[in-house]
Structure formats: structure tokens, C-alpha cells
């Protein structure tokens, strides 16, 4: 189980990668694209979630409250914040009038995957307590986060080709 | 299970169901960039007209000489118009 801490360690560096991607994106494309918008919002979200995870865990470790209530508060918080980021990404595209592309669909799909994983783990924790689903959850959350970052990096490199200039009459 | 735990579980299930349902709905909602329909400026109109007239002149290659002469005259008129307008700083 020593892989999970490494994955979590890499995940803590994601907001910095996203910030770098944002700067490279606006530098290369010279305008706000769907990709730069997604990347900057994800960077903000990751910064905030990294900052509040530990204080929230301290509150949740209060043994005087029933375990199920603490667990549902924890899962509920993350489900709602993931739902919020899905909505925020969509709204930001509408506010800035940017076409919703494949990248946004993939990122939103990944966040829906995170919500499902949280729900599955919650059911497992209160009923079956299977080790398999627990391992799946522990691996799944950082893996999905890292795949979002990897996909966005790949998408940016794919778009970074030089296109012939065309006159637009 | 205590009643408070049961309530918390039910509330959580409602939250998860809501989040998944509306999340998938948001995921499927497309958004296409809206091109603003504001009127183009005089400068853009002149440029577009110039491009069109010079295209006309180039396309006269396999036409009768009279047509080419007409196109040439129209391009010259456009040129005069632009010169006139720029002299009085009408075009920004």
C-alpha cells in the first residue's frame, strides 16, 4: 500500500502544474481558450481543497460524534464540492462565451466518476466493509485526479501545432 | 442503526443522487460560442469592399477586356473614396 501515499504526494503538486499549464496556454494561443479556463479553475479548486483537507480531517476525527454522521458529512462535503466544480466549469464557459469542447466533457465526466467513487465507498463503509472496494477507492481518487492532469497536458500538446495563417475577409 | 445516523445516511443518498443526476445533465449540455451580431465599422466595410473589388479584377483574367476595364474603374473609384475619407479622418 505504499503506492497510495506516493500518488497523494504527486497529487499535491497538481495545482502548480495547472498554473504552469495556464501560463503556457495563454502564451501559446494568445487568447483565452477552453483549456486555459479549465486549467485555471482546476488549479484554484485544488489549492483550496489542499488547504482545507487537513483542518476538515481534524474536525471529522472528533470521536464524540457517531461515525456514520461524520462519514456522511465528509462524503457529502466532497460530493457537493465536486458537483460545484462541474457547474462552475460549465458556467464559466457560458460567461466568457467559449465553446464547450471535448476537454470539458472529459473533465466533467472525471468529476462525476469521483462522485460515484465517493458514493460507492460510503455504501461499502456502512454495510459490507470489503477491502477490495476500499483499495479501489484509495487508488481511484488520486488516479482520476492525475489522469485529468495528464489528459489536459496531452490535449495542450496536441493543440500546440503551428497553423498556416489565413486571411479572414 | 440510530435514527440520527439513518437520517444522515438518507440525506447523503439524496445529495449523491441529486449531484449525479444534475451533474450528468450538465455534462450533456452543450455550449456553442455565440458570435456577436454587432454592426461592423466603416473601416471594415471599406476593407471588405476593397477585397471584393480586387477579387473581381483578378477574376476578369478570362473575361472580355471591357469587363476588366469596368472592374479596374470600380477599384479606382474605391481607391479615391478611401483617399478622400482618410484625408478628412472619417475612417479611424
> With 90 as the cut, is the pLDDT of residue B2 above it?
no
Residues of B in contact with A115 (CB under 8 A): 16, 19-20, 23
pLDDT, mean over chain A: 89
> With 60 as the cut, is the pLDDT of residue A163 above it?
no
Mean pLDDT for A141-155 is 92
pLDDT tens-digit map of A55-95: 998 988 888 888 888 999 999 999 999 999 999 999 999 99
Asked if A76 lies within 8 A of B11 by C-beta distance, the reply is yes
pLDDT attached to residue B18: 93
A25, A156 Cβ separation under 8 angstroms? yes
Mean pLDDT for A118-137 is 90
Nearest residue, CB atoms, B27 vs list A93, A108, A116: A108
Mean pLDDT for B46-54 is 91
Closest alpha carbon within chain B to A111: B23
pLDDT attached to residue A169: 57
Interface test with A, best of B13, B24, B27 (most A CBs within 10 A): B27
What sections of chain A are H helices per DSSP?
3-12, 14-29, 34-60, 67-95, 102-123, 131-159
Asked if A86 lies within 8 A of B32 by C-beta distance, the reply is no
pLDDT tens-digit map of B17-28: 999 999 999 999
Interface test with B, best of A108, A113, A168 (most B CBs within 10 A): A108
> With 70 as the cut, is the pLDDT of residue B29 above it?
yes
Mean pLDDT for B7-23 is 92
**B55 grid coordinates:** 477579387
Give pTM, 2 decimals.
0.74
Q: What angle do CA A148, A87, A8 make, to 5 degrees?
A: 30
pLDDT attached to residue A66: 86
A108 interface with B at CB cutoff 8 Å = yes
pLDDT attached to residue B40: 76
Residues of B in contact with A76 (CB under 8 A): 11-12, 15
Angle between helices A131-159 and A102-123 (to 10 degrees): 170
Angle between helices B65-87 and B42-58 (to 10 degrees): 160
With bands split at pLDDT 50, 70 and 90, how would you rate the model's confidence at B84?
confident
**B32 grid coordinates:** 456553442
Closest CA relative to residue A96, chosen from A37, A43, A40:
A37
Cβ within 8 Å of B, A 2-61: none
Share of chain A above pLDDT 70, in %: 94
With bands split at pLDDT 50, 70 and 90, how would you rate the model's confidence at B33?
confident
Residues of A in contact with B52 (CB under 8 A): 169
**Which residue did the predictor score with more confidence, A167 or B72?**
B72
User: Positive or negative, the Cα torsion across A100, A158, A141, A53?
Assistant: negative
Which range has the worst mean pLDDT, A14-23, B33-42, B66-75? B33-42
With bands split at pLDDT 50, 70 and 90, how would you rate the model's confidence at A165?
low
With bands split at pLDDT 50, 70 and 90, how would you rate the model's confidence at B1?
low
- ipTM, 2 dp: 0.81
pLDDT attached to residue B90: 61
> With 70 as the cut, is the pLDDT of residue B89 above it?
no
Amino acid at each position: 500500500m505504499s503506492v497510495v501515499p506516493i500518488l497523494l504526494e504527486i497529487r499535491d503538486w497538481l495545482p502548480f502544474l495547472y498554473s504552469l499549464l495556464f501560463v503556457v496556454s495563454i502564451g501559446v494561443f494568445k487568447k483565452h481558450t477552453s483549456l486555459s479556463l479549465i486549467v485555471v479553475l482546476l488549479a484554484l479548486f485544488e489549492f483550496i481543497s489542499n488547504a482545507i483537507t487537513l483542518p476538515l480531517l481534524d474536525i471529522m476525527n472528533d470521536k464524540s460524534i457517531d461515525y456514520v454522521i461524520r462519514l456522511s458529512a465528509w462524503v457529502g462535503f466532497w460530493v457537493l464540492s465536486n458537483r460545484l466544480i462541474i457547474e462552475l466549469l460549465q458556467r464559466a464557459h457560458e460567461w466568457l462565451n467559449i465553446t464547450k469542447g471535448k476537454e470539458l466533457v472529459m473533465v466533467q465526466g472525471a468529476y462525476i466518476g469521483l462522485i460515484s467513487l465517493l458514493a460507492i465507498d460510503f455504501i461499502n463503509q456502512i454495510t459490507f466493509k470489503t477491502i477490495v472496494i476500499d483499495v479501489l477507492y484509495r487508488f481511484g481518487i488520486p488516479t482520476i485526479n492525475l489522469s485529468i492532469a495528464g489528459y489536459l497536458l496531452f490535449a495542450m500538446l496536441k493543440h500546440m501545432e503551428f497553423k498556416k495563417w489565413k486571411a479572414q475577409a | 442503526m440510530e435514527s440520527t445516523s439513518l437520517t444522515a445516511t438518507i440525506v447523503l443518498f439524496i445529495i449523491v443522487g441529486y449531484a449525479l443526476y444534475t451533474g450528468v445533465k450538465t455534462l450533456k449540455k452543450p455550449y456553442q460560442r455565440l458570435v456577436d451580431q454587432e454592426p461592423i465599422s466603416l473601416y471594415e466595410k471599406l476593407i471588405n469592399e476593397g477585397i471584393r473589388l480586387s477579387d473581381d479584377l483578378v477574376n476578369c483574367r478570362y473575361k472580355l477586356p471591357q469587363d476588366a476595364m469596368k472592374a479596374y474603374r470600380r477599384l479606382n473609384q474605391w481607391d479615391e473614396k478611401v483617399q478622400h475619407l482618410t484625408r478628412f479622418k472619417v475612417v479611424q
